[in-house]
Amino acid sequence: MTPLKTIATTAAAFAASLLLAGAAQAAALEQFKTFVSSTKSARGEFTQRQVKGGKSSNTASGTFEFARPGKFIWTYLKPYDQLLQADGEQLYIYDKDLNQVTVKKLGNALGSSPAAILFGSNDLEKNFTLSEAGARDGLEWLKAVPKTPDSTFEQITIGLRNGTPEAMELKDNFGSMSVLSFSKFEKNPQVGAAHYKFVMPKGVEISQQ
């Protein structure tokens, strides 16, 4: 599965209040709940790679923006130029090389998908079973297991530092894993309501799904 399809097919939510004691970090679940309750929107940069059999491939990078619930702009800049954008009701997947836009109803698509971790509502435990996954690489990790059996992903782990997600690992049902790293994370930027409205490029082929 390509990096684009990994995000697109799941169609687009990071969810207490322990204070940090000295240099020690709060548990991942507490950091996560604090993040979701305090972060209504955010933007930053990401890198994404596929891992299977211990080998990495299909490295991609780009930028992201989101506003809860269900609004986001996920832009791949390398190695190709592609865009995923949701306005809270519909998801638009713009493949510039193919000059094609695929339009999908957002509906419950965020539900138990990785996109819900970043972009969804605060009610994350409705769709995921959350548990601590220990410390690794300087991060506190949280495991999220989808409650719906038809989810594309077996589990998602989220690495946090000082209340901010810095990494996600998305393990699918076929033994592959997508690893995302986040940087330049800016919380609650001031953005107008029209920012997430998709403007259809002229002359593109439109596919409704």
Strands 41-52 and 100-105: unpaired
pLDDT above 50 (res 11): no
Map out the domains of the chain as residue ranges: 3-199
Q: What is the pTM of this model?
A: 0.79
Tokens at residue 3, please?
């990096």
Question: What does the mean pLDDT of the chain come to?
Answer: 81
Alpha carbons 25 and 60: distance in angstroms, whole number: 30
Which CATH architecture fits 3-199? Clam (2.50)
Tokens at residue 166, please?
């810095």
Q: What is the pLDDT of residue 8?
A: 46
Give 41-82 pLDDT, tens digit per residue: 999 999 999 888 777 777 899 999 999 888 999 999 988 889
For tokens 């000082």, name the residue.
162
Share of the chain above pLDDT 90, in %: 44
- φ and ψ of 4, to 5 deg: -65, -50
Whole-angstrom CA distances from 21 to 25, 53, 135 are: 7, 39, 16
Q: Please give the DSSP secondary-structure letter assigned to residue 200.
A: P
Alpha carbons 4 and 27: distance in angstroms, whole number: 31
